[in-house]
Amino acid sequence: MLKTGVKAPDFTLTDKNGNEVSLTDFRGKKIVLYFYPKDNTSGCTKQALGFADLNGEIEKSGAVVIGISRDSAKSHAGFAEKYGLPFVLLSDPEHKVTEQYGAWQEKKLYGKISMGVVRTTFVIDEDGTIIKVFEKASASLNPYEVVEFLKK
């Protein structure tokens, strides 16, 4: 897992419209980069709606929200349209960026061990340095925690 004070690794992934988006496209702004397991699941929808509801406050603090999951661009397009999500969703089907940031981890569910996305949020400053990490973030609380952090 990447820690605070580390330069956020650059990457290029596909957005919901099939366009390539790089982290460096947002240099000069704070970035709320969140990794989540799957579109249209209860926890992930709750987190996305929280970020959508608070998007105005996040933008006022000079930040943008970017969500990353293994879902396809088509899935992201449907998810964003269904819930009116006003921020960027990026597709990482081979979980390369998710692994690079340390959000791809061993998970245990009902005694079964598997690898998967652990809900994690990074706040990155205008120069590309990680200034806050929310590990094992709560789907319902994380958007509010991020806004509180950005207000400081």
Distance between CA atoms of residues 114 and 109, nearest Å: 8
Structure tokens at 102: 């340390």
Nearest 5°: CA angle at 12, between 97 and 119? 35
CA dist., res. 22 & res. 78, Å (int): 22
44 sits in which H/E element: helix 42-53
Task: Identify the active-site residue in 21, 44, 66, 146.
Answer: 44
What 3-state class would DSSP assign to 2?
A: coil
| Residue 95 bears catalytic tag | no
Residues involved in catalysis: 44
